[in-house]
A and B are shown apart, each in its own frame.
Chain A
C-alpha cells in the first residue's frame, strides 16, 4: 500500500499542565474522507491545529505525503497542500470576498494574481459566492462566511482539506447545500478530514469515522461500526 497522505504519529500536546492530546495516531489515505467525532473538549480542533502547524506538538510527529512536516511552519505546510477551515469563520473582514480568495490563490497556490483571477472566479462559482465577490467579507451572513472559509481554503489548492464543524449552525436546507459543495470538492480529488457533530451530514460524505475523547483515539472504523459502538453510546448517551 502507498504511504498515507497524512500520518499523525503518537502526537501529544499540552498547554501548561493541561494535556489536550495524548499519544494520538491515525492515518488518512489519499482521496479518502475521514470523519472525526467526539465530545466538546476531546481535542478535535487542537488536532487540526497540530496538523496545520498553528501549534507545535509537544511530542510525536506529523507526516504529509511521506515527509516529516513536524517542524514546518503553517505557511510552509499550506504550500505543501494542507488547508483548514475554522468552526467560527475567520474571514479577512476588511477585504472583499474576492480578495480573500485571491490571497489564498496567490500565496498558498503560488500563482501570480493575473494567473489566479479565473481560478478564483471558478472557486467562488463552485462555492456559490460569485454574486458576493465584491462585497466586504465582514458583511457576509453565516452560511456565506462558512462558504468563504471553504473557498479560501480551496484557493490554496490543497491536497487535504480539514473541515471544522462546517455544518454547525446551519439550517437543514443549508446543510444540504453545503454537502453538495463538499461532494464537488471530493470529486476534485481533495482528501477530506472532517470534524462534525451533525452526524447525517458527516456520514453522507465520509468513508471512515474516528472517535476521540480525552485527547486520544477510542475507535476507528467504518461509519456503521463506529456509530453502533458501545464507546459512542457511552460518550454521547452516558450508558454502558
Chain B
C-alpha cells in the first residue's frame, strides 16, 4: 500500500470535513444551536450550483460567486425567520426544527432532481493535479479547498479578535443577556452567524460536488462527518476542528485502503475512540459551555 499517497489523499479529503465542521462549530459556539440540517444544506449548495450551471452555463467555480451570497442570505433568513423564535426555550425545539428542515430539503431535492446522483461538470479541473515532493499527485480542487479552509479559519480568527462585530459575536456567545444590555442585538448576531456558516459550507459543498457525485440523501452522512470533525478536534477551537477534519479524512482513507468497505467505518471508529478516551476532543481549549 502506498502509505504516503493514502495519507495525503486523506488529508485533502479531510479538508472538506474541516470546512463542514467549522461551519457547524461556528453556530454551536455562538448560539449553542445544533443544526441537524447542516449536511443537507451542504448538498443544497451543490444543487444550487448545478442549476446555475445548467441555466447560465457558468463554470462551477464561478457559481460560487452567486451560491455563497445566496446561502448566506438563506442562513440569515432561516435564523431570523424561524430559529430565533425558539432559541432560549431549551435544546429540543431547535433540534426538532432543523431535523424537520433536513427532511424537507431531502424530499424537496428528491422531488426536483430525482434520486440520480449528480456531479458538477468541472471540465479539466476535475482531474487537474500537481505532484507534491515526489510522494503523491494531488488534485487541484482539494488543494483549493484546503487553502480556503485555512483562509477561513485565519479570517474568522482575525474577525473575532479585531473587529467590533467579532467582539459582539464573542460577547453574545459568552452571555447573550448581558450582550443585549451592552446594546448588541443578539438576534442579528445569530442571523449573521448562521449566514456565515452556510457561506462556508457552500464552498465545501460545491468543491466536493466537482470532485465526487452527490445525491439528495447525502446530507446526513455529511452532517455526521461535520460532527466527527468537531468531536475529534474539540469544541471551541477552530484549528482543533480543522485538525479533527484532517484526522477523520486520514482515518477514512486508510480504512478504505485496507478494505474499500471500511471507508466510513474507520472514521466512525476514530470518532468513537476520541469520545471514549478524550471526550473533550484532542485539541479542546478548556472552556465552559
Contacts and interface: CB of A to CB of B under 8 A. Distances in A.
A104 B181 CA distance: 8
Interface string B184-213: 111000000000000000000000000000
A92 B174 contact: yes
Given A74-B181, A75-B180, A94 B170 contact: yes
B200 to A, nearest CB: 22
A75 B185 contact: yes
14 contacts: A52-B181, A75-B182, A78-B182, A92-B170, A92-B174, A94-B287, A99-B170, A104-B183, A107-B168, A108-B182, A112-B164, A113-B163, A153-B181, A156-B183
**Most B Cβ at <10 Å: residue of A102, A104, A110, A112:** A104
B174 A106 contact: no
Interface residues of A, number: 31
Contacts of A78: 180-183
A69 to B, nearest CB: 14
Interface of B: 163-164, 167-168, 170-171, 173-175, 177-186, 287
B183 A108 contact: yes
Nearest to A53: B180
A207 B243 CA distance: 60
Interface string A143-179: 0000000001101100000000000000000000000
A233 interface: no
Contacts of B163: 113
B184 A107 contact: yes
A63 B84 CA distance: 27
Contacts of A155: 182
A90 B182 CA distance: 12
A44 interface: no
A27 B286 CA distance: 46
Contacts of B186: 75
A58 interface: no
Given A90-B175, A113-B164, A104 B287 contact: no
Contacts of B181: 52, 54, 74-75, 78, 83-84, 153, 156
Interface string A41-82: 000000000001010000000000000000001110011000
Contacts of B178: 86, 90, 92
B51 to A, nearest CB: 39
Interface in A88-105: 90, 92-95, 99-100, 102-104
A95 B171 contact: yes
Contacts of B185: 73, 75
Shortest Cβ-Cβ A-B pairs, 7 listed: A108-B183, A107-B183, A74-B180, A78-B183, A92-B174, A104-B182, A75-B180
A233 B287 CA distance: 47
A223 to B, nearest CB: 28
Given A94-B287, A113-B164, A73 B170 contact: no
A209 B237 CA distance: 49
Contacts of A153: 181
Nearest to A101: B182
A109 B174 CA distance: 20
Nearest to A109: B183
A103 B168 contact: yes
Nearest to A77: B181
A83 B185 CA distance: 15
A95 B170 contact: yes
A84 B180 CA distance: 11
Contacts of A94: 170, 173-174, 287
B271 to A, nearest CB: 27
A84 B287 CA distance: 26
A92 B168 CA distance: 10
Nearest to A95: B170
Contacts of B167: 95, 99, 102-103, 106
Nearest to A82: B181
Contacts of A152: 182
A181 B174 CA distance: 27
Contact of B182 (A54, A73, A103): A103
A1 to B, nearest CB: 30
A75 B184 contact: yes
B179 A103 contact: yes
Given A73-B185, A90-B178, A107-B183, 4 more contacts: A54-B180, A78-B180, A106-B164, A110-B183
Nearest to A49: B177
B234 to A, nearest CB: 16
Contacts of B180: 54, 73-75, 78
A103 B177 contact: no
Contact of B183 (A54, A79, A90): A79
Contacts of A79: 183
